[in-house]
């Protein structure tokens, strides 16, 4: 959603998210007499195959000259409407996707005397007035019904955007007279639950929509999500429509949460504990950041990662409960487009071959991902915003439409509707269609059990299998060509490997396959004769405990002044602090220029800096990555230059900083206490 200010770092987003979460997340034991409402098995199974195309309605396509807000955030025409989406359905269907997610389409009535910034916010739809009416600037109820029916006739599910945690101050009652309770942002639960249950059911029954994307899902407590899920399931089972195959079906009832944070916070605020699910699917923001940091840079220009970085992120899915179904995307309406990130990192321009090849590499990773995936409109043609790459100062970016949190809301470029694609755009679109078609035909990709075969600075290789459908996915994370020798035993292959795109065959030779891979090239190789694979030979025991004084957890605190005058803290996206300076994370001086703090940590990947209360000074690890048990140079930090640290197991850890006598940073380590 639009935040009125640029979210230029993941750090600020996490802080905002945690501020909204409060302490409303219940444990599995808080209501022992209430049986948890399980995730719907049918929805879970079908959602694995989702290939969603996201549309930002106000910025997408102007299909009706009498509709449109004429204002909004970003650089688009701001005249988008429902008719424009209808006009684009043939194009969307041609991509091989099977679902559409629309940003909010409900009426947002201006408040008397509101300023132009409020008008812009109304255009996004994220602060609705009437949850039970279509915004007349987008279209009518009849147009919305036609959109859903025509999408269904093309084999496309339709998802609306559910804002169930906040609203505009002039919100109107539901048809049965219900209203949300408490403040407008966030609302109060459980008092507001009946109102939002009515919203969730109304549009499923009225238009036969197939579910909801859930904005700022952390604003709603887990027990309320259980109730809303049950409402959505019941509403979906109460109505039917005829799909593209002529079958009478129920709406899918899929729900996917926006919780912009790390795995542990997504668990805490969204999925809930094992056996007591809150929600069953959430966007995979952690892997999205790893994806852009591997093939481009993130919004803070940090990148240069390799296949091991991707593998680590995928391996962290083990932190999720069994009912979790993460949904991976490359971008959305709140993120910078991948093409602009390539330019921000001084990696490639649209005139360069590598611009397009890196797009293909990143999009191939989505195609190979186990679970639902989402494409943001324009991803399929390598879209970008002209003259935007560097961060625009916050005091002027909103006026120009160039803030990081809304710059991707550019005008939709739909071939044959609003534009004519150039040769490179058509080529990338054809590649995306090929990927989506291949994903639909091979359940190993969307539903298969994943075994990582190789992950290093140059390449990422997974084996995926579902029943007898087995595929090897390879993607280069470097611009250099390479020759891979893949062991047949490790791959679990007793015959040829067949390239699903080119048809090329690779035969066994002395127990392995020789597969060439060009720079940032991806390949999907079908295993013609799958057998049980050998144990993953790349798996290694992770070191979590270091050596020396920086790894000692019982060093006594000394009563003397060290080289740093202000108290320092470990400040990051930990669930117990959320980018706040907490007393239990304050370093103590141990003498000889060493500062330490011992903290009980969860397993997971975290981002942090080491900073005073006023963020001056602040420090970060050199290379912005810290491995447990390994001493790493410490350097001056800055806004958005966060250290990433993966703690493979829960326990007590000691964080250590050393400085030179003159106060200059020296080294940092995190080590598990024995």
Domains, the chain, with CATH or none = 46-441 (3.20.20.80), 449-527 (2.60.40.1180), 549-672 (2.60.40)
Kindly tell me if the per-residue pLDDT of 19 is higher than 80.
no
| Structure tokens belonging to residue 147 | 């959109």
Kindly tell me if the per-residue pLDDT of 23 is higher than 50.
no
Confidence of residue 13 (pLDDT cuts 50, 70, 90): very low
Confidence of residue 155 (pLDDT cuts 50, 70, 90): very high
| Structure tokens belonging to residue 80 | 């988008």
Average pLDDT over residues 388-415: 93
Number of neighbours of residue 323 by Cβ within 10 angstroms: 21
**CA-atom Rg of the chain in angstroms:** 25
Average pLDDT over residues 57-79: 97
List the one residue out of 425, 342, 349, 435 whose CA is nearest residue 381. 425
Spatial distance between the Cα atoms of 489 and 172, rounded to a whole number of angstroms = 64
Grouping H, G, I as helix, E, B as strand and the rest as coil, residue 145 is helix
Kindly tell me if the per-residue pLDDT of 26 is higher than 70.
no
Spatial distance between the Cα atoms of 151 and 50, rounded to a whole number of angstroms = 15
Spatial distance between the Cα atoms of 490 and 486, rounded to a whole number of angstroms = 8
List the one residue out of 169, 166, 225, 228 whose CA is nearest residue 203. 228
Kindly tell me if the per-residue pLDDT of 8 is higher than 60.
no
Number of neighbours of residue 583 by Cβ within 10 angstroms: 9
On whether the CB atoms of residues 594 and 564 are closer than 8 A, the answer is no
Spatial distance between the Cα atoms of 533 and 451, rounded to a whole number of angstroms = 9
Mean of the per-residue pLDDT values of the chain: 93
Grouping H, G, I as helix, E, B as strand and the rest as coil, residue 554 is coil
Half-sphere exposure in the Cβ direction for 662 (13 Å, CA): 1
Residues, the chain: 674
Kindly tell me if the per-residue pLDDT of 224 is higher than 60.
yes
In tens, the pLDDT along 516-526 reads: 999 999 999 99
Residue 420 buriedness (CB in 10 A; 0-12 / 13-18 / 19+): exposed
On whether the CB atoms of residues 263 and 320 are closer than 8 A, the answer is yes
pLDDT reported for residue 569: 98
pLDDT reported for residue 360: 98
In tens, the pLDDT along 524-540 reads: 999 999 999 987 555 55
In tens, the pLDDT along 167-213 reads: 999 999 999 999 999 999 999 999 999 999 999 999 999 999 999 99
pLDDT reported for residue 541: 60
In tens, the pLDDT along 588-629 reads: 999 999 999 999 999 999 999 999 999 999 999 999 999 999
On whether the CB atoms of residues 473 and 486 are closer than 8 A, the answer is no
Residues 627, 629, 632, 636, CA torsion sign: positive
| Structure tokens belonging to residue 451 | 């075994």
Grouping H, G, I as helix, E, B as strand and the rest as coil, residue 193 is helix
pLDDT reported for residue 540: 58
Q: What is the DSSP letter of 185?
A: S
Residue 662 buriedness (CB in 10 A; 0-12 / 13-18 / 19+): exposed
Q: What Cα–Cα distance (Å) separates residue 351 from each residue in 347, 384, 408?
A: 12, 12, 20
Kindly tell me if the per-residue pLDDT of 25 is higher than 50.
no
Confidence of residue 4 (pLDDT cuts 50, 70, 90): very low
pLDDT reported for residue 674: 86
In tens, the pLDDT along 381-401 reads: 999 999 898 888 888 999 999
pLDDT reported for residue 10: 38
- DSSP H or E segment with residue 328: strand 328-329
Residue 446, phi-psi category: left (phi > 0), alpha (psi -120 to 50), beta (remainder): alpha
On whether the CB atoms of residues 162 and 200 are closer than 8 A, the answer is yes
Residues 6+ apart with CB under 8 A from 458: 306, 307, 476, 477, 478, 480, 482
- To 10 degrees, the CA torsion angle through 333, 447, 435, 246? -90
Kindly tell me if the per-residue pLDDT of 22 is higher than 60.
no
List the one residue out of 458, 502, 503 whose CA is nearest residue 482. 458
Average pLDDT over residues 554-583: 96
Kindly tell me if the per-residue pLDDT of 550 is higher than 60.
yes
pLDDT reported for residue 34: 57
pLDDT reported for residue 180: 98
Per-residue b/e over 259-274, b at no fewer than 16 CB within 10 Å?
bbbbbbbbbbbbbbbe
The proportion of the chain whose per-residue pLDDT surpasses 90, expressed as a percent, equals 91
Q: What Cα–Cα distance (Å) separates residue 225 from each residue in 159, 253, 652?
A: 17, 13, 33
In tens, the pLDDT along 252-302 reads: 999 999 999 999 999 999 999 999 999 999 999 999 999 999 999 999 999
In tens, the pLDDT along 55-65 reads: 999 999 999 99
Spatial distance between the Cα atoms of 265 and 267, rounded to a whole number of angstroms = 5
Instruction: Read off φ and ψ for residue 225, nearest 5 degrees.
Output: -65, -40
Instruction: Read off φ and ψ for residue 83, nearest 5 degrees.
Output: -65, -35
pLDDT reported for residue 5: 30
Residues 92, 93, 95, 99, CA torsion sign: positive
Residue 643, phi-psi category: left (phi > 0), alpha (psi -120 to 50), beta (remainder): beta
pLDDT reported for residue 35: 77
Three-class SS of 578-632:
CCCCCHHHECEEEECCEEEEEEEECCEEEEEEEECCCCCCEEEEHHHEECCCCCE
pLDDT reported for residue 391: 87
Grouping H, G, I as helix, E, B as strand and the rest as coil, residue 184 is coil
Average pLDDT over residues 18-33: 38
Spatial distance between the Cα atoms of 531 and 524, rounded to a whole number of angstroms = 18
Place of tokens 């970008």: 384
């Amino acid at each position: 959603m639009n935040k009125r200010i640029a979210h230029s770092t993941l750090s600020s987003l996490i802080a905002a998210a945690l501020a909204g979460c409060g302490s409303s997340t219940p444990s599995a034991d808080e209501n022992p007499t209430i049986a948890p409402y399980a995730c719907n098995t049918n929805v879970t199974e079908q959602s694995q195959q989702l290939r969603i195309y996201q549309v930002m309605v106000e910025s997408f396509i102007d299909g009706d000259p009498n509709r449109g807000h004429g204002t909004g955030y970003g650089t688009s025409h701001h005249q988008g409407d429902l008719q424009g989406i209808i006009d684009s359905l043939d194009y969307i269907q041609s991509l091989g996707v099977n679902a559409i997610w629309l940003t909010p389409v409900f009426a947002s009535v201006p408040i008397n005397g509101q300023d132009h910034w409020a008008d812009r916010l109304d255009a996004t739809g994220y602060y609705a007035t009437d949850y039970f009416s279509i915004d007349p600037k987008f279209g009518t109820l009849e147009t919305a019904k036609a959109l859903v029916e025509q999408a269904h006739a093309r084999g496309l599910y339709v998802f609306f955007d559910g804002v169930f945690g906040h609203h505009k101050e002039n919100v109107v009652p539901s048809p049965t007279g219900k209203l949300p309770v408490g403040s407008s942002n966030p609302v109060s639960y459980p008092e507001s639950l009946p109102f939002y249950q009515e919203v969730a059911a109304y549009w499923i029954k009225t238009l036969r929509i197939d579910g909801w994307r859930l904005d700022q899902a952390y604003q709603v407590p887990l027990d309320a999500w259980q109730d809303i899920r049950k409402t959505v399931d019941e509403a979906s089972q109460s109505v039917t429509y005829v799909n593209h195959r002529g079958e009478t079906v129920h709406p899918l009832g899929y729900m996917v949460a926006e919780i912009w944070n790390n795995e542990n916070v997504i668990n805490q605020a969204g999925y809930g504990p094992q056996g007591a699910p809150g929600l069953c699917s959430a966007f995979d923001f952690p892997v999205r950041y790893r994806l852009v940091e591997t093939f481009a840079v993130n919004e803070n220009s940090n990148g240069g990662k390799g296949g091991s970085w991707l593998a680590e992120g995928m391996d962290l899915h083990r932190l999720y409960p069994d009912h979790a179904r993460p949904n991976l995307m490359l971008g959305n309406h709140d993120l910078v487009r991948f093409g602009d990130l390539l330019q921000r990192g001084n990696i490639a321009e649209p005139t360069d071959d590598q611009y397009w090849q890196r797009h293909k590499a990143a999009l191939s990773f989505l195609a190979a991902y186990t679970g639902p995936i989402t494409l943001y409109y324009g991803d399929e043609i390598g879209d970008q915003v002209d003259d935007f790459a560097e961060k625009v100062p916050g005091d002027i970016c909103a006026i120009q439409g160039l803030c990081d949190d809304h710059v991707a809301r550019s005008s939709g470029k739909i071939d044959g509707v609003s534009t004519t694609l150039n040769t490179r755009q058509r080529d990338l679109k054809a590649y995306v269609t090929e990927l989506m078609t291949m994903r639909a035909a091979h359940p190993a990709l969307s539903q298969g059990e994943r075994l990582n075969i190789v992950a290093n600075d140059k390449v990422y290789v997974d084996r995926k299998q579902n029943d007898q459908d087995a595929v090897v996915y390879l993607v280069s994370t470097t611009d250099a060509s390479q020759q891979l020798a893949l062991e047949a035993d490790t791959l679990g292959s007793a015959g040829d490997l067949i390239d699903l795109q080119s048809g090329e065959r690779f035969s066994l030779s002395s127990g392995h396959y020789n597969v060439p891979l060009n720079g940032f090239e991806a390949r999907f190789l079908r295993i013609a004769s799958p057998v049980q694979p050998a144990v993953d030979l790349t798996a290694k025991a992770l070191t979590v405990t270091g050596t020396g004084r920086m790894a000692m957890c019982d060093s006594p605190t000394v009563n003397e002044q060290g080289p740093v005058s202000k108290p320092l803290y470990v400040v990051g996206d930990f669930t117990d602090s959320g980018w706040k300076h907490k007393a239990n994370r304050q370093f103590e001086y141990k003498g000889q220029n060493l500062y330490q703090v011992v903290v009980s940590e969860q397993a997971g990947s975290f981002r942090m800096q080491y900073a005073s209360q006023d963020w001056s000074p602040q420090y970060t690890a050199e290379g912005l990555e810290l491995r447990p048990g390994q001493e790493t140079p410490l350097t001056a930090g800055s806004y958005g230059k966060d250290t990433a640290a993966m703690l493979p197991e829960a326990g007590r850890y000691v964080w250590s900083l050393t400085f030179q006598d003159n106060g200059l940073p020296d080294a940092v380590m995190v080590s598990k206490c024995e």
